[in-house]
Amino acid sequence: MNSSLLFGITTFCYLFSSAFYLGLLLFKNKKVGTVGLALAIIGVVLQTVGIGLRWWESYELGIGHAPLTNMYESLVFFSWCTTLFYIFIEFKYKARLVGAFVMPIAVATMAYASLSARVNQEISPLIPALQSNWLIAHVVTCFIGYGAFAIAGGLGLMYLLKKSAIDKGKTEDSLTGSLPELRIIDDLTYKTIVFGFLWLTAGIITGAIWANEAWGTYWSWDPKETWSIITWFVYASTLHARFTRGWSGSRIAWLAIIGFISVFFTYFGVNYLLSGLHSYGSS
């Protein structure tokens, strides 16, 4: 068994998990949600084994580096971080319906990694700029933050749908009636953004140290660096508005969605649309 097979099975686990979570949203059957959670757990366990196996395959090829260096590997790791953090949230806050908004992100990421002709799945030797001990620290911290922001974006969408239903006078029997109370969604969105912001900050710091080691400068305004700092300011402004102006509710929900759009462009748009020192990430 190789890592690609495990990642393929993981994709199907996440696909069916998403379907069951959406079934929970539609039919309000708790047993359906339990199956969705079980599939998510099975998927993340298989994915963990697959990541470890791909790392081992790299050593067998005489390359020997962590599976975090190209678009395919980063997509796999992003979906892993997102799913693992979601499972933690479900167990800690009992917010099972969040899965209906998060697991589709995980399955879409895995499907794109597996099926897109633009994504190279081969294990390749590292280019000189990536041959550093800072590789793991930088990528892991950034993608833990990205995973948290993906969940915050899903929570923001959940809040807006719930708020819209309430404003229109829809009852608890409506599609959004089983979603958590607005204050609970708002609080969870805020906590998730704080968590992601701390990790993104650590990712930018480790990236700057790595850049100085690789290119002799801590900051060069490369497109990836520029959009990373734009994303950082989006979330910093969100937290500033929360702390100093008391923003909450729909404002924070929209900022969570805007922030994730910025993350998405930092991750995908820069790699495919803009050239720079980080262009290797599109390979």
pLDDT (0 to 100) of residue 10: 97
DSSP state letter for 279: G
Q: Which of 175, 185, 152 is nearest to 25 (CA)?
A: 175
- In the chain, the N- to C-terminal Cα span, in Å, equals 25
- Cα separation, 13 vs 187, in Å, equals 29
The tokens describing 104, both together, are 């589709």
The tokens describing 114, both together, are 């597996």
- Cα separation, 49 vs 43, in Å, equals 10
pTM over cut 0.85: yes
Q: Which helix (H) or strand (E) holds 218?
A: none
pLDDT in tens, the chain (283 residues): 789 999 999 999 999 999 999 999 988 888 999 999 999 999 999 999 999 999 999 998 888 888 988 889 999 999 999 999 999 999 999 889 999 999 999 999 999 999 886 788 988 888 776 778 888 899 999 999 999 999 999 999 999 999 998 888 876 667 777 888 999 999 999 999 999 999 999 999 999 998 888 778 888 888 888 999 999 999 999 999 999 999 999 999 999 999 999 999 998 877 777 655 555 455 5
pLDDT (0 to 100) of residue 172: 62
Are 43 and 14 in contact, with CB atoms under 8 Å apart? Answer: yes
pLDDT (0 to 100) of residue 277: 53
| Other residues' Cβ atoms within 10 Å of the Cβ of residue 171 | 8
The tokens describing 244, both together, are 């100093």
Q: Which of 47, 38, 45 is nearest to 4 (CA)?
A: 47
pLDDT (0 to 100) of residue 204: 96
- Using the structure block, give the residue that is written with the tokens 């969870």: 188
Domain residue spans of the chain: 1-118, 129-283
pLDDT (0 to 100) of residue 117: 67
pLDDT (0 to 100) of residue 74: 92
